[in-house]
Amino acid sequence: MCGIVGAVSERDVQGILLEGLRRLEYRGYDSAGMAVLDGKSAVQRAREVGKVESLAAAIEASPLSGHLGIAHTRWATHGEPSQLNAHPHMSGDRLAIVHNGIIENYQELREELKADGFEFTSQTDTEVVVHLIEKNYRELGKLYDAVKTAVTRLRGAYALAVVHADEPEHMVVCREGSPLVIGVGIGENFIASDQLALLPVTDRFMFLEEGDLADIRRDSIEIHDREGALVDRAVSRFEHSADAAEKGEYRHYMLKEIHEQPRVIKATMEGRVTDSRVLEQALGIEAGELLQDVRHVQIIACGTSYHAGMVARYWIEDLAGVPCSVEVASEFRYRKHVIQKDTLFLCISQSGETADTLAALRQAKKAGFRAALAICNVPGSSLVRESDLVIMTQAGPEIGVASTKAFTTQLTALLIFSLALARKNGLSAEREADIVKALHLVPGQVSDVLALEGEIAEMSERFVEKNHALFLGRGSQFPVAMEGALKLKEISYIHAEAYPAGELKHGPLALVDSEMPVITVAPNNSMAEKLKSNLEEVRARGGELFVFADRAANVKPEENIHVVQLPEVHEITAPIVYTVPLQLLSYHVAVLKGTDVDQPRNLAKSVTVE
């Protein structure tokens, strides 16, 4: 939720930290701060409310200077966005800390530390951690030991980076439930919540495991696991080019990411499908044997990833004939559930660090299932490490908070998985070949849809003054409508709801009038005729319809019916293609409304807290 970055080097670290924060801003952006040590004086600290650029301006006016530093960009959980609540937090003037996560027992610790004489200046849960470390430091005299002892008292999720002015040659970091990566340099080392933050300085990374505690110096990295054993964590190279995280010619990351979809969908197919069939080995060596045993699929995810799971349910039940349940992680984790032994537990997550999804997986492990499959976009993420099978989407870094290319690559991976499972369950070679051929056409069809951007941008002008919108779809297009509604509300702040079109007459039709735009995804499929009757119901109530349909669906533009004609697509692959015009529509509405497209209010890219 928040982003942390740290550096220990021979050179001045202020610029490295600031660039790291800019790259982490997608994780939180209500305030930012930095603490730097020069080995001579006390901790130098700067904190500002607002985006990283406010901090940059403050630092430009009065620079910090030193070879060791930590920095933070915040997404408020405990306490409003304010300078006092911004990180780094300090105890006295020599100890500083940055934290990503939530300390659940902070109230209890706060009372205890107050009784010990510590004074609190913020409303955050983090401040208890820094005072707790200070208390231990006074007794133990070593920062590493003080952090090690302090974390035994913490309940909740945290990634921490800690520095002390009396030990200016190192920082101590640890993780439990929140991501933390170490960037390995030459004669300098770094830490961050996400590799992207460190791409300007290194492409070699070590991922900390849950419970790890590490001592990071210029020329050494020492990691101990939860049991205190000295451990090696493998160094891996970052797979995507550094400029994958740049905006390039585009005005927003979101627009760039929408336009990257033909390429990344293709990349997600690469090595996993031939001309006519899926390669199940590409899902993992054990995939063949494992899929044979699967009698039920339980999908867990949040937000956009949940919508991908909703589409996959149609594919899994239709193609494989295997029962499939889909649930949002935040609900699943807090109810009693029955998981059969032959269940494949499928978690979908762009980041692989979503707290609810990880918690659901960990809980389900206790209940027992055949295996866990992750569909994820971030190599080395917690989800990837904790799953038996992994299908990596090849979307590359997704920076815009509103998920776009992650969704369509998730769908691509899910369709490949569904076909592999279906083959074990009697899908004919002909049907498989027919769908795989259709999948190969998707990148081109998405490019064709992107070419309609001008038309869609023009259409978006009709939404600027609206306060509400309804999205309709039927069958596997219903989750596409849900995703369309999520995109619109997320970045344009227009209230939007999605309904399966057949549900309209059971309630939402009451909302339809000339002020309620109704957006419909209507490919010519087995549900087309029924959907058209639903559209008539809307028209008859004076509603204004915006229909995305192919020629064969035969929806004619008339007064109050605006039609964008999409390419003809296979019914199975249509959800991937029909998602794209809805992304473009939301994007252009948001641009016209002047909202912050890449960093919409109140949201963060990676929800690593509950």
Q: Which residues are identified as catalytic?
A: 2, 605
The span from the CA of 503 to the CA of 534, in Å, is 9
**Closest listed residue to residue 586, CA positions, set 502, 413, 504, 463:** 463
CB of 600 to ligand AGP, least distance (A): 9
CB of 178 to ligand AGP, least distance (A): 14
CB of 402 to ligand AGP, least distance (A): 4
The span from the CA of 168 to the CA of 392, in Å, is 40
Is 255 one of the binding residues for ligand AGP (CB under 6 A)?
Answer: no
The stretch near ligand AGP (CB under 6 A) out of 343-351, 365-373, 453-461, 470-478 is 343-351
Sheet architecture: strand order including 213-217 = 89-91, 95-103, 156-164, 170-176, 213-217, 221-224, 230-231
The span from the CA of 295 to the CA of 168, in Å, is 57
The stretch near ligand AGP (CB under 6 A) out of 76-84, 270-278, 401-409, 581-589 is 401-409
Binding string, 19-38, against ligand AGP, x = CB under 6 A? --------------------
**Closest listed residue to residue 302, CA positions, set 260, 282, 331:** 331
496 alpha-carbon distance from chain centroid? 21
CA-CA distances (angstroms) from residue 129 to 64, 74, 155? Answer: 24, 16, 11
Contact pick of 192, 312, 384, 401 for ligand AGP (by CB under 6 A): 401
Burial 131-161 (b: 16+ CB within 10 A, else e): bbbbbbbeebeebbebbbbbbebbebbbbbb
Contact pick of 261, 268, 343, 357 for ligand AGP (by CB under 6 A): 357
Is 382 one of the binding residues for ligand AGP (CB under 6 A)?
Answer: no
Q: Say which DSSP state 485 is in.
A: H
Is 304 one of the binding residues for ligand AGP (CB under 6 A)?
Answer: yes
Is 354 one of the binding residues for ligand AGP (CB under 6 A)?
Answer: yes
Contact 19, 59 (CB under 8 A): no
Contact pick of 14, 268, 330, 351 for ligand AGP (by CB under 6 A): 351
For ligand AGP, which is the closer residue by CB, 136 or 304?
304
Binding string, 444-483, against ligand AGP, x = CB under 6 A? ----------------------------------------
For ligand AGP, which is the closer residue by CB, 176 or 353?
353
Contact pick of 14, 195, 305, 343 for ligand AGP (by CB under 6 A): 305
State the burial class of residue 533 (Cβ atoms within 10 Å of its Cβ: 0-12, 13-18, 19+): exposed
Residue 279: Cβ within 10 Å count: 13
Contact 483, 576 (CB under 8 A): no
Is 490 one of the binding residues for ligand AGP (CB under 6 A)?
Answer: yes
Is 409 one of the binding residues for ligand AGP (CB under 6 A)?
Answer: no
Q: Say which DSSP state 213 is in.
A: E
Contact pick of 86, 199, 607, 609 for ligand AGP (by CB under 6 A): 607
The stretch near ligand AGP (CB under 6 A) out of 79-87, 126-134, 182-190, 348-356 is 348-356
Is 387 one of the binding residues for ligand AGP (CB under 6 A)?
Answer: no
The span from the CA of 249 to the CA of 241, in Å, is 17
Non-local CB neighbours of 301 within 8 Å, separated by 6+ positions: 308, 309, 326, 328, 329, 347, 348, 349, 354, 357
For ligand AGP, which is the closer residue by CB, 169 or 331?
331
CB of 444 to ligand AGP, least distance (A): 25
Total residues in contact with ligand AGP, by rule CB under 6 A: 15
For ligand AGP, which is the closer residue by CB, 327 or 537?
327
The stretch near ligand AGP (CB under 6 A) out of 39-47, 300-308, 417-425, 434-442 is 300-308
The span from the CA of 136 to the CA of 155, in Å, is 17
Closest chain position to ligand AGP (CB): 303
Contact 136, 113 (CB under 8 A): no
Phi, psi dihedral angles at 554 (to 5 degrees): 55, 50
Contact 212, 19 (CB under 8 A): no
Contact 247, 256 (CB under 8 A): yes
Is 402 one of the binding residues for ligand AGP (CB under 6 A)?
Answer: yes
For ligand AGP, which is the closer residue by CB, 190 or 407?
407
CB of 297 to ligand AGP, least distance (A): 18
Sheet architecture: strand order including 324-328 = 324-328, 296-301, 343-349, 371-376, 389-392
Is 303 one of the binding residues for ligand AGP (CB under 6 A)?
Answer: yes
Is 213 one of the binding residues for ligand AGP (CB under 6 A)?
Answer: no
For ligand AGP, which is the closer residue by CB, 302 or 553?
302
Is 408 one of the binding residues for ligand AGP (CB under 6 A)?
Answer: no
For ligand AGP, which is the closer residue by CB, 74 or 94?
74
For ligand AGP, which is the closer residue by CB, 298 or 305?
305
CA-CA distances (angstroms) from residue 75 to 87, 217, 353? Answer: 11, 28, 16
Footprint of ligand AGP (CB under 6 A): 302-305, 349-351, 354, 357, 401-403, 490, 606-607
